[in-house]
Structure formats: C-alpha cells, structure tokens
Structure 1
Amino acid sequence: MRLRESRLWGVAARGMAMGAADVVPGVSGGTIAFITGIYQELLDSISRVGPHALTVLRRHGLVVAWQYINGSFLLSLFAGILISVVSLARLIGYLLDTYPIAVWGFFFGLVLASVIPVLRRVPRWNTGALFYVLLGVLIAIGVSELRPAQVPATPLTLFLSGALAICAMILPGISGSFILLMIGIYPHVLTAVHEMQIVKLLCFAAGAVTGLMLFSRLLSWLMHHYVARTLAFLGGILLGSLKIIWPWKLPTGQAPEAGDKLAPLMSNTSPWTYAEVTGESSYLLIAATAAMVAAMIVLTVDFWGHRQGARQ
C-alpha cells in the first residue's frame, strides 16, 4: 500500500513537470511524460476512458471500472498538471519575460536530450525507421514555419482548436499552446479564461476532451502495433521542434494577433548576430549552462528509469 501511495506521489510530481512544460508555448508536456517513463501508461489509460468503461461500470461496479481506466494514475497525474499550471504559470511567465534566453536555453537542452531516450527505444533500425525520423523532422519544421493567423472565436473554431491543441500537447515535441498561437486562438482562450466566458470555455473544453479520447486511442494503437515507426517519428518531431525553441530570435515583421494588436514575427539567428543587432548580451554562456543542466536532468532520469525497469 505504501509503495502504491509512493508511486502515485511520483506520478503527481511528473504531472507537475508536464504542467510546467505545457505553460511554455513551444514545449510539450508529452515530452516530459516520455522521458519520465509514463507515456505508454498515459496513452493506454486515457484510451480506456469511453463507452466500454461505462459498460464495465454498469456490470461490475465503480471499483472495477476505476481500476479498468487506471483511475488513480490519471487522477494523480492530472492533479499534478492542474496544480502546476495554477501555481507555476505566473512564475514561468515572469522568467520568460525577465530571463528569456536562459529559459529557452534550458528547454532547448531538455528537448534535445529527450531525443536520446526516444530513439534508443526504437527496437530495430532500418530504412523505414530513418524515413519516419525525417518525416517527423519535416512536419515539426513545417509547423514552426506557420505564421500567426486570426481565426474568429466561434463555438466551432473553439471546439476544433481544443481538439487540435490537446492532440499536439500529448505528442512529444509539439506544444499545444504553440499551435493555438499559430492559428490565432490563443488570445481568445486567454480572454475567455480571464473573463470567465463559460460558453466559450465549454466549447474549447469539449473539443479538448474529444480530441484527447480519439487521439490517445490512435497513438496507443500505433505504439502497440508499429512501435519502431512511431518512436522514430516522435524522435523526428522532437528534433524538428528544436527550431521552435531556439533561444536567439529576431523580429522580421508583424502579424495580427487579436483585435488591433500586432505580434512580432520571429526568426532564428545566431547568438553573435543577436548581440550585434540588439546591442544586448547574447547570454551564450548562461544559455549553454542551462541547456547542459537540462540535458543532465533528462539523461539522469532516463538512466534511473531504465535501471528500475531492468530490475523489474
């Protein structure tokens, strides 16, 4: 019993790390789930929530149904995510505003190091696996090349945006909040949250729940039936997403964000060009140190998880 309670606390801690990552537009909580060893369990547990779970509930009762969907795991994980989003959103926002290069450097190192445990789990390498790595890289780079649009916040667009964002959120490498920024819905969702626009929030939440139920089933099926191709593709997604979170960026124009506001279009540049154009320090040493610390954390967690799995 104590062992189970201890594990649930560990799951909640992983959820808090996922929530912290999801706050940052460009970093996916799915990445954290993968490197902490709960990605497959997360997909399988979510995919069991559905009509069959209701059948189990009706025939066998609440306890069996709760065990069927791995309810304690899901409750602990999503409680951790919620706690993190509520408590850390303001802190991470402050750090991004005050020390942006260091923060992006940390997440760059985190995502780069995450490629190693993902690709290491590919059971066999061949031309097909390499193709899916390349496909993942190209898709992630293609997403990074999108420019902010301005989509009206109708019930339908909010529903579809919620479904799209949650699908991206559980994919390692692509951030749901980044997708919302690119399609122009992000400001509307923030406004709905701040002003408690219940109808809009319900539309968005309904889309998120629907997308999560459907996409988790697809990913879980792929991970069980086409594990080599799926892992290779996810590794490619992580590699390609590095373009999104490169720490040194310069504005190249402006695009509509919401209403009359304009958001800068950013493009990657070198630390030296950044310092020359902005007249500010590139903070290269600080960013590199933050990236190495993040990489060490990821590789340590992966080593520990791999060792624990070997013992079991």
Structure 2
Amino acid sequence: MGAADIVPGISGGTIAFITGIYFRLLNAIGAIPRAVFRYLIRGQVKAFWQACDGTFLLSLLMGIVGSIATLASAISFILTEYPILIWSFFFGLIVASVWHVGRQVRHYMPVLILPFLAGTVFAWWVTTLPASQLAPSSLIFFGAGALAICAMILPGISGSFILVILGMYVPVLDAIRALDFGTLLIFVGGCLVGLLSVARLITWAFRRFHDAVLALLTGFMVGALNKVWPWKETLSWRTNSAGAQVPLTEASISPLDYAEMTGQDPQLVLAVICASLGLLLVLLVEWAGRSDSGDL
C-alpha cells in the first residue's frame, strides 16, 4: 500500500482489496472511535487494542511507512527512467484488480451498470482535471490531508493524485523533506479525520448496498486506467520540489501516435510483458489468499 500511495494514479485501497485485507482494514479503523470512549479513556489499554485490531493496524502502518521509506527513491527513479514499462505494469495490475473486485459481486443485475458507469465517469474525469495552485495555509494542509486519505482508501482513486490536482503534492513533499513537524501534524490530523469518517461511511454502505458499492468501486478502477495508460502526450509542465520540469497535464494516446509524436520507441512488446506481469501478480496474490483460507 505504501509503494502504491507514492505514485499519483495508483490507489493503496486497490492493493488492500486484492490482498484481501480491505474489509478488515475498514472494520479496524471504524472501531477506533468507539474503542477510545469505551476502553481507552478508562485506562483499559488491552481491551482497546483488541477492539480496534491494534496488532493488524500497527503491522500495516509499519509496512506502509517502511515501504515509503525504502521504495520512494526506487519508484521515482523507475518512473523517470522507464516510464512506459512501469506504467504498463501498473496498468496490468489494475486491469486484474477490476476483474478481482468485480468477482466479489454476489448478484449480478442490470441495475448495477448505473453505479459502475457513475464510478467510471467520475474517476476518468478526476484523472483529466488540471492541477490548481492553493496557498499552503494550515487550513489547506488539513483539508488536503482529509481529501487525500479519503481517496487513498478507495480502490481506484489515488490520494497522491488528489494532492497533485489540489496543487499540494509539492508543498507536502517539501514539508516532509524539511521535517516541518508542525505542518506535518496538521496534515496528519486531516488524514485522521478523513480516515475515521470515510471508513465508517464505506463500512455502512457495504453492509446495506454491497453489490452496488462494489460496482461503483469497480467503475473507479476502470476510470483510473486513463491515468496509468503508458503512452502519454504532455500538454503542460510543472516544476517539482527538486526544481525539475515534470509533466503536469497529459493526454492518453496510442503507441503508434506516441512513436510519431516523440520519435521514441513505444516499447510495445516489453510493455505487454510488464502488463502481463502486473496481471499475474494479482492472480498470484489472490491464489495465495485462497490457499491460506483453504478455499482451493
């Protein structure tokens, strides 16, 4: 999840879903507010820890933080040096995730096409939004954290991409690089508020509208494919935190158009191989999860 959340366009929620921990994560997060008032303020730390599945959340948090710390530089390097291949891998991963999430629907009915299309159109629209430029005040950092974490927990919507759209991706990275703990605490506070709110809302929605929510989330992932399409035409540029020019607004084009417009090799064969590896990875993760549960 941490590695996915680094990349604008990839959702940590998607990784949580295909690894089979999504609903456990929602339940654990949703249990925190009640556990705080029922146990923690009374000093019953052990009961609080058990009620909110503390060991699971701590393990997940350590994995996310460790992944960000160890893989951020590597992923940034690969995105810069081998963009077509890494985006092809992500494309295959999300395509397989669409199939995986779609299979969780209990009863396929024609009416489910409505939330599916709504999710697809919304996610596609989000991937085409130009970045804005907000003045990075404390309130903006708090709101950006709340919005980003809400997107991050939803399969198909990237929290880091939401920060790019808000114009807060660079300010947040700058705060991390400068170890601006005051600003980071405000941002994390927004993340906590958004996380606790959206987790309970999603859990409630799943309990009452299970198949419709899955159709919506599947649509989110289909729409997000526009962001991870490997061949792009750059329409505008921005300056990143290192002072380098990087793409800001891009449009998806065909491999043939990419070759004609850029004069570069579209690496079509290697791209197909990388996409296949991403698809295979999801299938292996699903198989491993079924093996652990004994459902072969």
- TM-score exceeds 0.5: yes
Matches within 5 A, 1:205-220: 205-220=188-203
TM-score (norm 1): 0.89
Q: Does 1:287 find its partner at 2:271?
A: yes
* 1:50 counterpart = 2:33: yes
Question: Retained in 1: the 8 A contact 2:120–2:219?
Answer: yes
Partner of 2:256: 272
Q: How many residues align?
A: 295
- Contact 1:30/1:172 (<8 A) preserved: yes
Alpha carbons of 1:51 and 1:19: their partners in 2 closer, same or farther (altered >3 Å)?
same
| CA 1:263–1:99: 2 relative to 1, 3 Å | closer
Of stretches 285-294 and 255-264 in structure 1, the one that deviates more from structure 2 is 255-264
Match of 1:134 in 2: 117
Structure 2 contact 130–248 (Cα < 8 Å) conserved:
no
Q: Quick one: which amino acid aligns to residue 212 of structure 1?
A: L
CA distance in 1, matches of 2:65, 2:101: 26
Shift of residue 304 of structure 1? 3.1
Provide the residue aligned with 1:7 in structure 2: none
Q: Secondary structure, in 3 states, of the residue corresponding to 2:235?
A: strand
The answer on whether the counterparts of 1:192 and 1:201 sit within 8 Å (CA) in structure 2 is yes
Pair 1:279–1:128, CA change in 2 (3 A): same
Please tell me the residue identity of whatever aligns with 2:164. Answer: L
Structure 1 position 158, deviation (Å): 0.8
Partner SS, residue 105 of structure 2: coil
1:47-72 per-position Cα deviation (integer Å, ceiling 9, x unaligned): 11114433223457211111100000
Q: Deviations over 1:136-164 (max 9, x none)?
A: 10110110110011011011111010000
Structure 2 residue aligned with 1:239: 222
TM-score of the pair, normalised by structure 2: 0.94
**Cα RMSD for the two superposed structures:** 2.0
| Cα distance in 1 between the residues matched to 2:289 and 2:246 | 45
- Provide the C-alpha distance between the structure 2 equivalents of 1:196 and 1:293, rounded to a whole number of angstroms: 37
Moved more, 107-116 or 43-52: 43-52
SS at match of 1:253: strand
Identity %: 41
Does 2:88 correspond to 1:102?
no
Which residue in 2 is equivalent to 1:91? 74
5+ residue gaps, structure 1, are 1-17
In the superposition, relative to structure 1, how do residues 246 and 262 fare at CA in structure 2: closer, same or farther (>3 Å)?
closer
Q: Distance in 2 between matches of 1:308 and 1:124?
A: 25
- Superposition deviation, residue 222 in structure 1: 1.2
The separation in 2 between residues aligned to 1:248 and 1:217, in whole angstroms, is: 38
- Aligned position for 1:5: none
Cα deviation for residue 202 of structure 1 reads: 1.6
Q: Which runs of 5+ in 2 are unaligned?
A: none
CA distance in 2: counterparts of 1:257 and 1:204, whole angstroms:
20
Which runs of structure 2 are paired with 1:1-312 in the superposition (5 Å)? 18-59=1-42, 61-254=44-237, 263-309=247-293, 311=295
